[in-house]
Structure 1
Amino acid sequence: MIFPSPPTARRRTTVALVVPLALALALGACTGETGAGATAETPGSAAAAGSTGSGSSGSGGTPTAGVTVTGAPAALSALVTRLYAGSDVGGSASPSAAAALRARTAGPAQVKATASTGSWRGTPIAVVTAGRDVTLAVGPTWKVVGGWWPSLGVDTPSLGKGGPRWLLAIGSDARKGQALDRTRADVLQVIGVDGAGGGGVMGMARDLWVPLSTGGKGKINSAMVFGGPEAQVATVKAATGLPIEGYVLLGFTGFKRIVDDQGGLPMVIPRTVVASHAKDLVIKAGPQTLSGAQALAYARERKTLPDGDFGRSRHQGEVILAAAVKAKLAGPAAIPSALTSFSEVGESDLSAEQILTFTAGLHTLNPLQVGRDVAKGPFGTAAGQSIVVLGAEARRLFASFRDGNLS
């Protein structure tokens, strides 16, 4: 039996782009901090942090006279010096970054750069800023994996894989003593970018009835129970037709810790919400700075919302967007410490290069080319339980997101 879905208007919000739920919150980290994974300097090293490297002639034209890199390990400082000196970076760059850098022109006579370092699941990472230039690098044998360099005539960002990209943000329903990656997915949000300044975030109703990658049919959020986050990604990929790269996964405790560690989450609450599952915690309408417990309650509430699970998914998108605004203000230099923080409480199958280029790319987006929506459908029943039927409305949304843009 199928019943029409609630008459809620489809909403698309053109505001600053999103990052995965937990990751976005982590990106509110203060700039200028050195995260785990930083390499100690060798005293007296010519390329040590704060030293000045001499430029040399190369494909970049006239050599840069001096490059000062503060906060970088010696090998990274030397690599950045070569980049600005016009020297061939060779194998010390990913193919896409190397191609972009081959087109660079002569830079300024003096360059003062600052490195922020951190770690992504044990791999050293760094963001080096110099004016409007941003260089993304991955260690421990340092390699440039992306960035943008207006001072060298490279205005178009080089951010790894070209074209549209998608990640899946998963919020685990794990309780104390349960495995984070073997419980239901309480949050499923697909984050997309189109590679041309636009993007979007698409919430997935938890009760969507779909074929599971582990076999049979079930609610979309049950795939992780049977096959872990990899099975959850495969299920969402099959349902949406989107080639999702991988996932970021966070639980309740990690979510609250990240929000509280970053001083709360500023956002405007459209209407007062009474979180029935959190001892009737009241989150009042208007401008608020939510604590970790409040942000979690807002993202999880559904029973008191007129559109139930669809409303919950919408709230989750609002939390992501608010966190992304905070991240945007922090700037790319905050990324390494943020990724370090996330690594301590979350899980992911993304490589350091993938997460660094994707996350940095969120800082290059045009707010007017970013949208938000929820994949929903009519209610029904299957296997004795209430479900959401995957129908034409959701499929139209999936099709519109194939370019990585929901604006």
Structure 2
Amino acid sequence: MIPGSRRHRPVATAALVALALGACTSEPAAPATSSASTGTRSSSSDATTPASGVRVAGAPAPLAALVSTLYAGGDLTRTASPTAAAALKARTPATKAVSATAKVGSWMGTPVAVVTSGDDVTLAVGPTWKVVGGWWPSLGVTRPSLGKGPRWVLAIGSDARKGQPLERTRADVLQVIGVDGKGGGGVMGMARDLWVPLSTGGRGKINSAMVLGGPRAQVSTVKSVTKLPIEGYVVLGFSGFKKIVDAQGGIPIVVPKTVVASHARDLVIKAGAQTLSGAEALAYARERKTLPDGDFGRSRHQGEVIMAAAIKAKLAGPIAIPSALTSFSKVGKSNLSAEQILTFTAGLHQLSPLKVGRGVAKGGFGWAGQQSIVVLGSEARRLFAEFRDGNLS
């Protein structure tokens, strides 16, 4: 076993991996007011399809009709993604009345929805609604449809200050979040001082790729270094992170050791169970100067914040995903499609807590000119190899 990898702290054993630095914690979603003409507005928050006995609260009429077709055993060839359609092809139609609840939100301007009925979860993307994934034990569908695993997404914390472009400043946080499609997953932190070949040319600290070529260049650089086929990225800045955490009422966490955040006017984050505000969570995730292992410790703290936020998100359940994605879209950036983010985020709710691990890509210290750097070593390469199945447990 690699030191520092596949290790579960008490918080981690109770948590699932959260997306976007734990920023996508839940909040109550507003009732849907979308209409049948566009698929995003409706005069009623309840829709009933008498022919199939399916009632969907909170859904626009076109989405309710789609859910009705799903439970009635109708043809979904043109109204479902290929993977979802294949999973639902052999479903057993519902024989009793179905009562479901829908929550509608948006991802970077695209409508998204989660519909729950008992243990069933249906994921849909608008405005011309289609099923993109979910799980349906009541219909005899034995496995979730959440895209082909394993899958990885790069969560980036931008160093942008007020007035600076979010996507063209240093990546202060680099965390690769993975799922194996079999109930396992992991969070792998990348030390920002790793000296690596950059996708923009030459060599440099790994977090400089975003300055030179934006988040796509940052993803390409991390992909080249780790050999992991990362799907895309989510980017969040300091102010956006604090706003989301505060809007959600903070992040409950167990802090292993007291931390004095030297960069935040010596803000003290005490050891023990507590709820961190946005400013405190940011300070905890960014501090390195007072930590004995410096940048590695900071990356470890970032993983702890992700895991802690995961507990809150897990308790809220998949139904809270649309409002979380809506909140993130207001302050963050991403190149992931609505289908990609919805199936990936929902997939985190399918993970087994005992199959979720955490690691930090480390290395030895060195110099490049007058810059202090971290030299990629065999330990980090072994960690990358371990993560190729999407699992660090």
Fold similarity call, TM over 0.5? yes
RMSD of equivalent CA atoms? 1.8
Paired with 2:60 and 2:276, the residues of 1 have a C-alpha distance of: 37
1:60 is aligned to none
What are the equivalent positions in structure 2 for 1:67-146 lying under 5 Å apart? 67-146=54-133
**C-alpha deviation, 1:48, in angstroms:** 5.7
1:166 is aligned to 152
CA contact (8 A) 2:26 2:323 kept: no
1:270 pairs, out of 243, 256, 266, with 256
**C-alpha deviation, 1:351, in angstroms:** 0.2
CA contact (8 A) 2:154 2:234 kept: yes
2:215 is aligned to 229
Inter-CA distance 46–82: structure 2 relative to 1 (3 Å threshold): farther
Paired with 2:237 and 2:365, the residues of 1 have a C-alpha distance of: 28
**Does residue 1:298 correspond to 2:284, yes or no?**
yes
Q: Deviations over 1:193-245 (max 9, x none)?
A: 00000000000000000000000000000000000000000000000000000
Q: Deviations over 1:358-378 (max 9, x none)?
A: 000000111111100000011
**C-alpha deviation, 1:348, in angstroms:** 0.2
1:26 is aligned to 24
Paired with 2:273 and 2:345, the residues of 1 have a C-alpha distance of: 27
**Does residue 1:378 correspond to 2:375, yes or no?**
no
1:39 is aligned to 34
**Does residue 1:50 correspond to 2:46, yes or no?**
yes
Paired with 2:365 and 2:30, the residues of 1 have a C-alpha distance of: 48
**C-alpha deviation, 1:107, in angstroms:** 1.8
Taking structure 2 as the reference length, the TM-score comes to 0.95
Q: Deviations over 1:99-122 (max 9, x none)?
A: 011110132411001100000011
**C-alpha deviation, 1:52, in angstroms:** 2.1
**Does residue 1:321 correspond to 2:317, yes or no?**
no
AA at the equivalent of 1:89: L
1:247 pairs, out of 221, 233, 253, with 233
Paired with 2:362 and 2:30, the residues of 1 have a C-alpha distance of: 41
Q: Deviations over 1:276-299 (max 9, x none)?
A: 000000011101100000000000
**C-alpha deviation, 1:11, in angstroms:** 6.0
**C-alpha deviation, 1:25, in angstroms:** 2.6
Paired with 2:324 and 2:277, the residues of 1 have a C-alpha distance of: 18
CA contact (8 A) 1:166 1:404 kept: yes
Paired with 1:9 and 1:357, the residues of 2 have a C-alpha distance of: 29
**Does residue 1:208 correspond to 2:194, yes or no?**
yes
Paired with 1:68 and 1:172, the residues of 2 have a C-alpha distance of: 43
**Does residue 1:260 correspond to 2:246, yes or no?**
yes
Inter-CA distance 88–41: structure 2 relative to 1 (3 Å threshold): closer
**C-alpha deviation, 1:41, in angstroms:** 5.7
Taking structure 1 as the reference length, the TM-score comes to 0.91
AA at the equivalent of 2:7: R
**C-alpha deviation, 1:155, in angstroms:** 3.0
Inter-CA distance 398–46: structure 2 relative to 1 (3 Å threshold): closer
Paired with 2:5 and 2:389, the residues of 1 have a C-alpha distance of: 19
1:398 is aligned to 384
**C-alpha deviation, 1:50, in angstroms:** 2.0
2:180 is aligned to 194
**C-alpha deviation, 1:86, in angstroms:** 0.9
**C-alpha deviation, 1:47, in angstroms:** 11
CA contact (8 A) 1:25 1:324 kept: no
**C-alpha deviation, 1:185, in angstroms:** 0.3
SS at match of 1:381: strand
AA at the equivalent of 1:17: L
CA contact (8 A) 2:48 2:64 kept: no
CA contact (8 A) 1:47 1:75 kept: no
Paired with 2:298 and 2:286, the residues of 1 have a C-alpha distance of: 6
SS at match of 2:210: helix
**Does residue 1:308 correspond to 2:308, yes or no?**
no
AA at the equivalent of 1:25: A
1:387 pairs, out of 354, 373, 391, with 373
Q: Deviations over 1:60-99 (max 9, x none)?
A: xxxxx41001111110010101111111122000000000
SS at match of 1:226: helix
1:17 is aligned to 16
AA at the equivalent of 2:288: R
Moved more, 84-93 or 291-300: 84-93
Q: Deviations over 1:138-161 (max 9, x none)?
A: 00000000000111001311012x
